[in-house]
Structure 1
Amino acid sequence: MTTTTRENFSFADLEQWLNQRRVTEIECLVPDLTGVARGKILPREKFTEDRGMRLPEAVVAMGVTGEFPEEGPYYDVITPTDRDMHLRPDPSTVRIVPWATDPTAQVIHDCFDRDGQLVPFAPRSVLRRVCDLYASQGWKPVVAPELEFYLVARNTDPDMPLKPPIGRSGRSETSRQAYSIDAVNEFDPLFEDVYDYCGKMELNVDTLIHEIGAGQMEINFFHDHPLGLADEVFLFKRTVREAALRHDMFATFMAKPIAGEPGSAMHIHQSVVREGDGGNLFSLPDGSPSPEFFWYIGGLQKYIPACMALFAPYVNSYRRLARYTAAPINIQWGTDNRTVGIRSPVAPPQARRIENRVIGADANPYVALAATLACGWLGIRNRIEPSPECKGDAYLGDYQLPRSLGEALELLRAEKDLHEVLGEAFITVYTEVKETEYAEFMKVISPWEREHLLLHV
């Protein structure tokens, strides 16, 4: 079974799939706002009988610390009575759990209310909402994520800095090894497991490379529909973390896990295909860029700053977005220019696409894809012209992105166009949860403060 046949996978197909693999347990998963897998593990019989489950709606609306806002607009959306969501499995998402002892499957669920409507603040619902906007115009967005992450030595003390893990040679990396084949092979046993797991789960992973940082890797995904690829990124993160643990190391998708090393991004290539003839909306019949191509870039330029709380969702995220750290600091665009935030790779007309390089690896894939597609949608709808192309080093330009989570949340709250596309309920829940996280962070006194302020101020 391939990704294309999964598209119209029915419950009958699902039952046959489970029977063929003699599955006895089902991990019923729902991604929350942070991208964490919530849910329940059900016996096969119970799963088949119920075709879903219930969970409190706040389960998908809490922060990375597990805390909830104590008061405020959050409770205009989330009822204080802690009512249930009705979770329905999406048959097309079924995959084996390759590391489980007993035959176990995992199925991603959508969240509905008691009236059968999608819960508007659930991340998968938000991405569905944006994709439906494109479908209403006879368009199909196509995306391809490039996901960076670090392998680090096992670390059980959060007060201690992270370090690169020890490879097959018995040594850990002490220098940067961008694109080094031998450096990847240092962790060959781990990546054999990763590729084995991905193969059994039918994840469409493409290229594995060693990135700039010590112990930093990147995995590329084949292009496909946004919802399916968000599912794959969500499942891939679980897979790499599990494989790393089995090799006595951690895999982390933090945006900036190690001081002095580059941060980790989730670059997203995106284009739009016409449903009728399958042509690329970004190219004219003569092969030149279309007006929609430029309007899409214009939308990204206008709305990315207000989306940064979605693209860079934690206080740590903003440590990555610094000058000369292989991460963008502005919303300039350019052709085959990796210093800009919005890049157009060199490609034939049928493959013309735009790469959003701003998004961090720590972003929820459903939220990040929904937000970047929303920016492009608004650009086309409002015919927003981009600034002139940047043909030089964009790192020399001014900062055009918020420098902190607090500033980013203010911009998101103020941008009503994004509220319209992503949904008011989602924006309310998301920003209130992030404010709660930010308040928790501000209770912590960092080593830098003790080092420089204790005896000097």
Structure 2
Amino acid sequence: MTRFVDRFGLWTDDQLKQAHDLVRRIDAGEFDVVRFAWPDQHGLLRGKTLVASEARAALWEGVNLTSTLLAKDTSHKTVFPVFATGGGFAIEGFQGGADFTIVADPSTFKVLPWTPRTGWVLCDAYMGDGSPCPYATRQILQGALRQLDALGLEFIAGLEVEFHVFKLEDERMGLADSGQPGEPPRVSLLSHGHQYLTELRYDRVDSVMELLRSQLIALGLPLRSLEIEFGPSQFELTFGPTSGLLPADTMVLLRSAIKQICQRHGYHATFMCRPRIPNVMSSGWHLHQSLRRKSDGVNAFMPEAPGQDLSDLGLHYLGGLKEHACGAAALASPTINGYRRYRPFSLAPDRAIWARDNRGAMLRVLGGPGQSATRIENRVGEPTANPYLYLASQLFSGLDGMRKETNPGPSADAPYETPAEQLPRSLDEALACLRGNAMLNEQMGKSFIDYLCHIKQAEIARFNLEVSEWEHREYFDMF
């Protein structure tokens, strides 16, 4: 009987060659284990670790995972009735916690520098008949990239990622600390913050920065800079531009890598947008994007005439981003906490506008005449976003603008005063906008949008059941 990969023709010729190269390395005794990692609906890595001899076979046969993983919210609670008729899903094949299969993409293989003799490979999810799993977010981005490829274009993106790193004081591993979710760790600051980009603040955390730099470079990520952000214990990393799937693959590995590296050295890293610590500053994920012509490698956003900020194609792409900004908001900022960054003049965009090199605007256009490249920076994302969905939302929106030749209107030079469509101010509002966006429902599939919204609504329902500290302080003595 033929193997799963061969039976359904799941690899390209290049991937097949890369898989054979990997087998040679396994046979040479380079690794003890290989982690088969799959990015779930939240952009979290799940999977199984196989000893080297088993990993060799699993490259072609895939690794089976229970479909209940597709039913989890951010507390890892199962929010679909998986043992009911149909399993609570809108498609066949998941009832009863049935398996689906993850298959390695050999082009993503890495050696993890922080753990000895350990390989790592990113996987795609398939149904038993070899068809892509309809809830697999990496494949949703692949679908958007195929549409772009048909136009002779490729997607280019660079990442600016803010996050916090704290000293780990207490992991909260007592018997009473478990739960779903469990108690968060107790931490202390590495820096007092509020000295943006000062060398003194950087030097005080140099040991942490060097730890991250050395490990991320060893991992092969395109790291460009390490920066002290404004908030206490807040940092920013920037990464050089890469193409296609690689920006999203980089982001999903980056988050997992930083958390693992920090944990092993007595630190706690978090990509939560706004942690509950005194004087905190919110973290964002700014996505720099452009398109490149495959025929000659030229940036397709470069202006074609004097006085232009973008080419006509770039302006239409920008118009699509602006038109679908509210519908795509839940994909760029998918947590309840992410909407707490909307504060007056906080550099978090509050409306769907664009501007020439203005950090107050949601869409910031950079480059232009005399520059080596032109790009659009979208400042709406939070660092918890599933990168495959965030990037796919950008591509689908931009492609729609290109098809319809959407005009984005003039640059908004006063971004907090310019009348414009307001962005959602809560996750609940953002989900309503996503459900109402016909283009995103068509491109991503209505069943996928319904599936994702069901999971996020389950999180909102759990949040609404909790009595917050604010409520207790506000009302317990007053009434």
Q: Structure 1 residues 307 and 455 mapped into 2: Cα distance closer, same or farther (>3 Å)?
A: same
Q: Does 1:138 align with 2:152?
A: yes
Quote the residue 2:179 is aligned against. Answer: none
Shift of 1:425: 3.1
CA distance in 1, matches of 2:17, 2:217: 19
Is residue 407 from structure 1 mapped to residue 435 from structure 2 by the alignment?
A: no
Contact 1:240 1:251 (C-alpha < 8 Å) held by counterparts: yes
- The answer on 1:83 being equivalent to 2:98 is yes
In the TM superposition, residue 396 of structure 1 has moved relative to its aligned partner by: 7.2
Residue 212 of structure 1, aligned match among 214, 230, 239 = 230
Contact kept? 2:287, 2:377, Cα under 8 Å: yes
Structure 1 residues 407 and 285: CA distance shift in structure 2, 3 A: closer
1:268 aligns with 2:287: yes
SS at structure 2 position matched to 1:81: helix
Determine if contact 1:28/1:39 at 8 Å carries over to the other structure.
yes
Partner of 2:253: 235
**Which ranges in structure 1 are unaligned for 5 or more consecutive residues?**
1-5, 167-171
Report deviation, 1:394: 2.7
* Secondary structure in 1 matching 2:465: coil
**Counterpart-to-counterpart distance in 2, 1:272 and 1:11:** 30
- Does 2:360 align with 1:339? yes
1:26 aligns with 2:48: no
Q: How many residues align?
A: 445
Residues in 2 aligned to 1:121 and 1:282: alpha-carbon distance in whole angstroms: 32
Query: What does residue range 266-415 of structure 1 map to in structure 2 within 5 Å?
Result: 266-286=285-305, 288=308, 289-347=310-368, 348=370, 350-394=372-416, 400-415=422-437
Per the alignment, residue 443 of structure 1 pairs with 465
Distance 1:249 1:260 in 2: 20
- Structure 1 residue aligned with 2:63, among 53, 56, 61? 53
Runs of 4+ displaced beyond 4 Å:
6-9, 17-21, 71-74, 155-164, 284-288, 347-350, 395-399
Q: Pick which of 253-262 and 132-141 moved more.
A: 253-262
Summarize the Cα distance change of 1:140–1:33 in structure 2 as closer, same or farther, 3 Å threshold.
same
Query: Where does structure 2 lack aligned partners over 5 or more consecutive residues?
Result: 1-13, 173-181
Where 1:306 maps in the other structure, the secondary structure is helix
Aligned-partner Cα distance in 2 for 1:161–1:239: 19
2:113 corresponding residue in structure 1 = 98
Cα separation, 1, equivalents of 2:270 and 2:103:
30
The letter for the 2-side match of 1:82 is G
CA spacing shift, 1:7–1:291, aligned 2, 3 Å: farther
Partners of 2:353 and 2:420 within 8 A in 1: no
- SS of equivalent to 1:385: coil
Q: How big is the shift at 1:291?
A: 1.5
8 A contact 2:15–2:106 mirrored in 1: no
Instruction: Tell me the amino acid that sits aligned with residue 85 of structure 1.
Output: F
Q: 1:21 Cα shift?
A: 7.2
SS in 1 for 2:249: helix
What CA distance in whole angstroms lies between the structure 2 residues aligned with 1:275 and 1:8?
Answer: 24
Structure 1 CA distance, aligned partners of 2:29 and 2:153? 36
CA gap 1:148/1:39 in 2 versus in 1, 3 angstroms: same
CA distance in 1, matches of 2:224, 2:465: 42
Which one-letter code corresponds to 2:197 in the other structure? Y
Pair 345,397 (structure 1): closer, same or farther in 2 beyond 3 Å: same
Contact 2:232 2:279 (C-alpha < 8 Å) held by counterparts: no
Structure 1 residue 142: Cα displacement: 0.6
Superposition deviation, residue 395 in structure 1: 6.4
What percent of counterpart residues are identical?
29
- What is the Cα deviation at residue 164 of structure 1? 5.1
* Whole-angstrom CA distance in 2 between matches of 1:176 and 1:423: 44
The structure-2 alpha-carbon separation of the partners of 1:444 and 1:399, relative to structure 1 and needing over 3 Å to count, comes to farther
d(CA) in 2 for partners of 1:401, 1:415: 14
Q: What amino acid is aligned across from residue 58 of structure 1 in structure 2?
A: T
